[in-house]
């Protein structure tokens, strides 16, 4: 049996430290992946800084990390999709409440991943590039396809125009990059926001139009552009996205619903893991107050709003439709690209904490990645 090491988070608000970890055999419905690259998400530093607020169920020590790519080395007894030696990406769900299991965390040499949360990748796609996909892809898929969110048609290799438009606020983000591609592959026209420097990027992914989210009249510009169109709903990414999307969607015809990835208050306020209790209390008060205001504004506007949790697709059939039925062929035929581009910043588990700090400081139209082997 191989030995394993992990970048452990040993207690609340602690930085990651590398040390031995169990080599966990996969359960019946899991595969074991030898990781060659991992990607960093805002969730990783948010848990480090504010896990007591956001992931209160976590048991410590724990292993964070959602985005992995590598090679299958073991398969569970009920697994039918994969075999040893396959090149794959996987969405690690070890931090989920119903898992809460370090063996399923991404920041280690070997990770146990649910069969339906993994996907074959083509030989031409480097592990470092592939690792950017899982959490952004899963979150976008939850928003677009779950019946309690936008409930749109699933993507296919032969999508035809449905004559409907989706608004994606924050198109150059990890979630946005995947939402644009998925919505286009489902037959929807996509309008999105981004910085002007990223307009060409989001248009290359399939967006029909891009708007500068910092422009003083951007809401009015989008409302005007959407007149006469059947709007299928909106996805709000970033602190200002939800409020703007509610204002826009209320003025449009179609599905008056906004799926939200980001609260209206930034967790960057708690970026110092040693922040005081007073600062935490003040942040919580602002978070609660801003969410109440958002809910009241949406209700008065006749717009439905709901937060996305990016792993709920694992138990409702959406994961199988995306990771199994759609993505492998779409990647192999280059109809779907691994986006945003990978920004490789280190090699080895020891560099993951540095990568988390870099992600926390802010990146644009790229995703921070660390090579593992």
Alpha-carbon span 286 to 280, nearest angstrom? 10
CATH 3.40.50.620 for domain 137-307: no
pLDDT in tens, 27-51: 999 999 999 999 999 999 999 988 7
pLDDT for 52: 78
Q: Torsion-angle region of residue 365: left (phi > 0), alpha (psi -120 to 50) or beta?
A: left
pLDDT of res. 189: 98
**Predicted confidence (pLDDT) per residue in 211-267, tens digit:** 999 999 999 999 999 999 999 999 999 999 999 999 999 999 999 999 999 988 888
pLDDT on residue 272: 65
Token look-up 């951007």 returns: 218
CATH class of 4-133+338-371: alpha beta
pLDDT of residue 78: 97
pLDDT computed for residue 50 by the predictor: 83
Q: How far apart are CA 372 and CA 352, in angstroms?
A: 9
* Mutual angle of helices 42-54 and 277-301, in 10-degree steps: 100
Domain ranges for the chain, please list them: 4-133+338-371, 137-307
Please list the ranges in the chain whose pLDDT falls under 50: none
Determine the pLDDT at residue 121.
98
Confidence at residue 66, expressed as pLDDT on a 0 to 100 scale: 98
Q: Provide the H-helix boundaries in the chain.
A: 42-54, 127-130, 134-145, 174-185, 199-205, 218-226, 241-249, 277-301, 318-319, 327-332, 352-361
Instruction: Give the separation between CA 181 and CA 337, rounded to whole angstroms.
Output: 8
CA distance 64 to 42: 12
Six-digit token string for 364: 């644009």
**Rounded CA separation 256/9 (Å):** 41
């Amino acid at each position: 049996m191989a030995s394993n090491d992990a970048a452990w988070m040993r207690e609340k608000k602690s930085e990651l430290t590398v040390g031995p970890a169990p080599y966990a055999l996969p359960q019946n419905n899991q595969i074991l992946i030898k990781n060659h690259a991992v990607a960093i998400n805002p969730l990783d530093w948010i848990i480090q800084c504010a896990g007591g607020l956001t992931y209160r169920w976590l048991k410590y020590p724990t292993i964070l990390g959602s985005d992995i790519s590598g090679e299958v080395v073991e398969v569970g007894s009920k697994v039918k999709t994969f075999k040893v030696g396959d090149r794959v990406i996987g969405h690690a769900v070890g931090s989920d409440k119903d898992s809460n299991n370090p063996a399923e965390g991404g920041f280690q040499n070997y990770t146990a991943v649910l069969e339906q949360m993994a996907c074959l990748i083509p030989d031409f796609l480097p592990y470092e590039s592939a690792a950017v996909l899982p959490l952004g892809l899963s979150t976008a898929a939850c928003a677009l396809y779950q019946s309690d969110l936008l409930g749109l048609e699933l993507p296919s290799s032969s999508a035809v125009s449905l004559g409907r438009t989706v608004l994606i606020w924050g198109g150059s983000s990890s979630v946005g990059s995947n939402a644009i591609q998925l919505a286009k592959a489902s037959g929807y026209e996509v309008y999105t926001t981004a910085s002007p420097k990223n307009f060409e990027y989001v248009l290359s992914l399939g967006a029909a139009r891009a708007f500068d989210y910092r422009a003083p009249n951007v809401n009015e510009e989008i409302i005007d552009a959407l007149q006469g169109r059947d709007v299928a709903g909106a996805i709000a990414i970033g602190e200002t996205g939800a409020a703007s999307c509610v204002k826009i969607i209320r003025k449009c015809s179609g599905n008056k619903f906004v799926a939200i990835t980001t609260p209206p208050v930034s967790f960057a306020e708690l970026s110092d893991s040693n922040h005081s209790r007073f600062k935490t209390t003040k942040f919580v008060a602002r978070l609660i107050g801003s969410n109440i205001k958002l809910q009241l504004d949406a209700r008065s506007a006749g717009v439905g709003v709901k937060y996305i949790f990016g792993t709920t697709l694992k138990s409702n059939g959406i994961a199988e439709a995306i990771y199994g039925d759609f993505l492998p062929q779409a990647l192999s035929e280059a109809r779907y690209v691994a986006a945003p581009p990978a920004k490789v910043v280190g090699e080895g588990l020891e560099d993951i904490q540095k990568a988390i700090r870099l992600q926390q400081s802010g990146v644009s139209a790229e995703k921070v990645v660390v090579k593992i082997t």
